[in-house]
Structure formats: C-alpha cells, structure tokens
Amino acid sequence: MINIALQGADFFAYHGFYPEEQKIGCRFLVDIAVGFEPVTDLKDGLHNTVDYEKVYTIACEEMKIPSKLIETVGQAITNRIQNKYPFVKTIQVTIKKLNPPLTGRVAQSSVTINYPPTT
C-alpha cells in the first residue's frame, strides 16, 4: 500500500452554522491522507498514482463553497477523491477550524471523515 498525504493545508473560508461565521469567515487547516495499491508499475509517472496536486485542488475548490457544517465539506472532499481515483483503498480527511467562536478560548475544533467508514 502506498500512502500520500497533505498536512496543514491552510484556507480562509466561510463555513459555520451561524450566519456571522459565513460572513466573517475564519482559518481552517485540512489534512488529507490517501492509501492505494498501484494499478500497474508506477514507472515514475503520475498516471498510476494519486496526484497530491490534484487532491489539493479538490480541497481548494470544496473549501470555497460555504457550508454550515465542516462535516459536509469533509465528505465532499472524500467523495471527489473517490470519484477521481476509484482505485483508492483508504481516505482520511480532517478539517480543523481555528479559534472557533465559543465562550472560552479553544485552539481548534475538528472533524475527521474516514473512507471506508470505521465502525
């Protein structure tokens, strides 16, 4: 199994349940890990592997779409990776919302989406 990962992809986005969050926006960090078995020998080319530049582009595009729940964004990223690379075996997407608007100081809140789902 080969694993590729993006860690700490930094985005400013407008996700949040409350209208103020969708107006003000905040910073998010996204971690994505993808595990796969190569279909054929890699031969030092991108056509038989998961291209982390394309994975990053997927994350960028989904982070631009405001959502009430970061779970929704994480699932959308996961679904698009599955569709783009049907040979993947595992995907883990973690989205961290920095300084969430709570009554006390909290560094981050986060959600993790796993494919296949863990039980």
Q: What is the pLDDT of residues 41-95, one digit of tens each?
A: 666 556 678 999 999 999 999 999 999 999 999 999 999 999 999 999 999 999 9
Q: What is the DSSP letter of 51?
A: -
Q: Which pLDDT belongs to residue 91?
A: 98
Strands 2-13 vs 88-98: parallel, antiparallel or unpaired: unpaired
> Which residue ranges form the domains of the chain, and what is each CATH number?
2-115 (3.30.1130.10)
Answer yes or no: are the C-beta atoms of 28 and 107 closer than 8 Å: no
> Which tokens go with 54?
């394309």
Answer yes or no: are the C-beta atoms of 75 and 69 closer than 8 Å: no
**pLDDT interval class at 37 (50, 70, 90):** confident
Which residue bears the tokens 């595009």? 61
Please state the pTM of the whole predicted model.
Answer: 0.91
